Structure 1
Amino acid sequence: MARLGIISAPGTARNITSKIKDELAENLKERLSQSDDWQIDIIVDPLTGETEFTKKIYARTEEYLQENGWDYLISITDLPLFYNDKAVVVDIDTSDGVAMISIPAFGWRPLKKRVQTAIINTVSIIKEVTDNGDDIEEGIKDEIHALNNMFTFSKLRYTKDFFEKSETKHLLFHMTTKAGGTFRLVTGMTFANNPYNMMQSLSGVTAIAFATGAFGIIFSTMWNLSYLFPTWRLAAISVLSILGMLLWIIVSHDLWENFKEGQSRRMTSLYNSTTLLTLFISLLFYYFLLYLLFLTAGVTLLPPDFIATTIEVENIGVRFYLELAWFAASLTTVAGAIGAGFQDKETIQKSTYGYRQRLRYQESQEEDSEESD
């Protein structure tokens, strides 16, 4: 029986590996050793999320490999890895036959099938290294092709290198361009943050905003303004209200990461970019939900003939209700921003990389202090 150990970071990485575990065992048997069954063990370890401490991660994975007697070992991290400023998808330590796979490098939708393909081909490469040493270019053509096929708009390049700090040889599959890799990392990290979950944490804010707006749309002032305002003005109000709420949430919940000594500027920039994109997508969901609620309320509560008489126009059509809902959603987003300041701070913070990473550092430091004691 062949045994594969997967050391997974908490969160997205753990969820994906847990879901593909059974199918992965079957596909490994079909692809690599039809005569052997595969046993897959998954261990969740927050250390695999500390991207700045790659040497420490590999030391921990070697301990796991020796303690559990696995034939192969792969770490799945939900944080980015880099090689010469390029985003790394797979990093294989050919000295010991263990590997790391970075989930964010897959981009916005790291589908289970793609992660499974990466794991299978990584195991195949490790097997090739074990059997034939470092000279494996000819033997891994199929694996390189399979990995490249997962990246439509940005191809991978593989590089051999020797890391002096850890005195290990590595085979790295990384993006060919810095810009393309950064784009994939930001979108992949945003996916891991799960904007929809953050939107759910703002459900109380949605209720406050709708209650405020529902009271406002029964008065003629809002009818007149929404009817008189041109499209560009309604659009400008929408943009300002969304950006204002975004900035208010960041400030009131301490979501912005400041650069600190000893911390990577690149990682700080990635955390902040991911927070901005996650919040922006969440607020678009929030805004669209408000819009639908106000559109429904307007059509239900406001007879067109009565409105036409009140604001002294000939007739009221569908456009009026669309613009009224648009205007109401923008105005009440401001009220929602105020309510967002009273939301559970920790609930919002857990949807950001910087906060989760600080928790992992604390856990790691506590473990180190316990071991030293």
Structure 2
Amino acid sequence: MDTLRVGLVADPAKPTEVARRFSDADPPHGGAGEAWDVSMVSEPFTVACEDVETALSRLTEHARDRQWDLVVGLTELPLRDDDGQYLLVETDRQQRTAVLSLPALGSVRMHRRSRRALRELISGMADSAADVDSRVVLPRWSGHWRLLLGMVLANRPWLLLPGLKSALVAALTTGAIATINSTMWLLAGSLSPWRLVAATIASIALVVGWLVIDGGLWDRPKDDSAHARDRARLYNTSTLLTLTLGALSCYVALYVLNLLWALFVLDPSVMGGYLKQPLHYSDLFVLAWFVASAATVGGALGSGLESDEAIRAAAYSKREEDRRNRLADERT
């Protein structure tokens, strides 16, 4: 049985993880009658290029240097054709080279979907008689949202606050001090539920706005074309969703931590005697809610001590972080 030498070139982080899991894959039943010898290279082959043709050219050089029969690049780059449509796959049939956009697979079952997509793509490229599409275009509406959610997932929003050490320390310190402050008890008890909700929304919006402005995270179109504006909107929407989900997850974590802290150190009857009003353990849940808003604001202020590079590292995937750093260097 002949052996097909397959090369996978993956951007760092998530694409590399996906490629490693696929490195022991075998051909599907009924496919080309060849065994697969899969090799993987982790390299940022899309850095400093947003052009798909340039990425395909770099992959062709990899195949030539390593004597691969075909090569597939895995990237977190959103792929687009000349008509502005978003792509899942772009293929050069003549060179047996392809690029797969992982965010276009969506935000759920990423490994299963990527494994199936790679298997089908490699099988089609290996079979010279197969009618393989040179590109796979995403549906205009559902595909756009799937791509956007994939980009947000790649940014790992749940790691936003842990990646900002100063913000984390500021948030935890603010929460610990505010919990035992009698003024916070009075304020929490005086606020109606809708005001507590408003405080939650305002604190999260403050974090998102502060990080966007302080970290220089707003993407601007390179020119005045419709494609450039649409691309900037995609990246900016991804940024806002990432930061909002990250701030929301941090808010929930702060609420839980502040509640546990309050239950551990506070006795409502003692605090009620000090404030000359009846207090119960149920009031601690309201207190923790209000304190979480104050701690979130404290975390936003603490993020001002972080460098722009640290903010981008916490907010983005590795590839997007590199792209943002490169754009920041171009502006300076």
TM range (shorter): 0.7 to 0.9
Structure 1 unaligned segments of length 5 or more: list them.
141-169, 364-373
Matched, 1:20 2:22: yes
Secondary structure of 1:261's counterpart equals coil
CA offset digits 1:120-151 (Å, max 9, x no partner): 101122133x135xxx3xxx7xxxxxxxxxxx
Partners of 1:359 and 1:338 lie apart in 2 by 23
Name whichever of 75-84 and 354-363 sits farther off: 354-363
Matched, 1:292 2:256: yes
Name whichever of 198-207 and 237-246 sits farther off: 198-207
Which residue of structure 2 aligns with residue 151 of structure 1?
Answer: none
Change over 3 Å in CA distance of 1:349–1:70 after alignment to 2: same
Q: Give the aligned residue type for 1:345.
A: D
Matched, 1:117 2:116: yes
TM-score (norm 1): 0.78
Which residue of structure 2 aligns with residue 274 of structure 1?
Answer: 238
Contact 2:138 2:144 in 1 (8 A): no
CA offset digits 1:152-198 (Å, max 9, x no partner): xxxxxxxxxxxxxxxxxx6222222x222221122111111112332
Matched, 1:357 2:320: no
Which residue of structure 2 aligns with residue 157 of structure 1?
Answer: none
Q: Give the aligned residue type for 1:264.
A: A
Which residue of structure 1 aligns with residue 87 of structure 2?
Answer: 88
CA offset digits 1:243-269 (Å, max 9, x no partner): 011111111111112223389222222
Query: Percentage identity across aligned positions?
Result: 27
Contact 1:48 1:75 in 2 (8 A): no
Choose the corresponding residue for 1:217, options 166, 172, 179: 179
Matched, 1:175 2:138: yes
Partners of 1:253 and 1:362 lie apart in 2 by 10
Partners of 1:100 and 1:113 lie apart in 2 by 18
Which residue of structure 1 aligns with residue 71 of structure 2?
Answer: 73
Partners of 1:16 and 1:31 lie apart in 2 by 24
Partners of 1:362 and 1:72 lie apart in 2 by 36
Contact 1:206 1:286 in 2 (8 A): no
Which residue of structure 1 aligns with residue 287 of structure 2?
Answer: 324
Partners of 2:74 and 2:8 lie apart in 1 by 7
Alignment RMSD (CA, Å): 2.6
Which residue of structure 2 aligns with residue 155 of structure 1?
Answer: none
Change over 3 Å in CA distance of 1:31–1:45 after alignment to 2: farther
- The alpha carbon displacement at 1:225 in A equals 1.5
Q: How does 1:139-150 map to 2 (within 5 A)?
A: none
Count the aligned residue pairs: 321
Which residue of structure 2 aligns with residue 234 of structure 1?
Answer: 196
Partners of 2:251 and 2:150 lie apart in 1 by 23
Partners of 1:46 and 1:294 lie apart in 2 by 41
Secondary structure of 2:150's counterpart equals helix
Name whichever of 46-55 and 82-91 sits farther off: 46-55
Which residue of structure 2 aligns with residue 52 of structure 1?
Answer: 50
TM-score (norm 2): 0.87
Secondary structure of 1:199's counterpart equals coil
Contact 1:349 1:355 in 2 (8 A): yes
Secondary structure of 2:5's counterpart equals strand
- The alpha carbon displacement at 1:324 in A equals 0.1
- The alpha carbon displacement at 1:242 in A equals 1.0
Q: Give the aligned residue type for 2:239.
A: T
Q: Give the aligned residue type for 1:333.
A: T
Partners of 2:98 and 2:196 lie apart in 1 by 52
- The alpha carbon displacement at 1:235 in A equals 0.5
Q: Give the aligned residue type for 1:126.
A: M
- The alpha carbon displacement at 1:362 in A equals 10
Instruction: Choose between structure 1 and 2 for higher RCO, CA contacts under 8 A separated by at least 6 residues.
Output: 2
Partners of 1:31 and 1:187 lie apart in 2 by 34
Contact 2:27 2:123 in 1 (8 A): no
Change over 3 Å in CA distance of 1:358–1:316 after alignment to 2: closer
- The alpha carbon displacement at 1:361 in A equals 8.0
Structure 2 unaligned segments of length 5 or more: list them.
none
Contact 2:69 2:96 in 1 (8 A): no
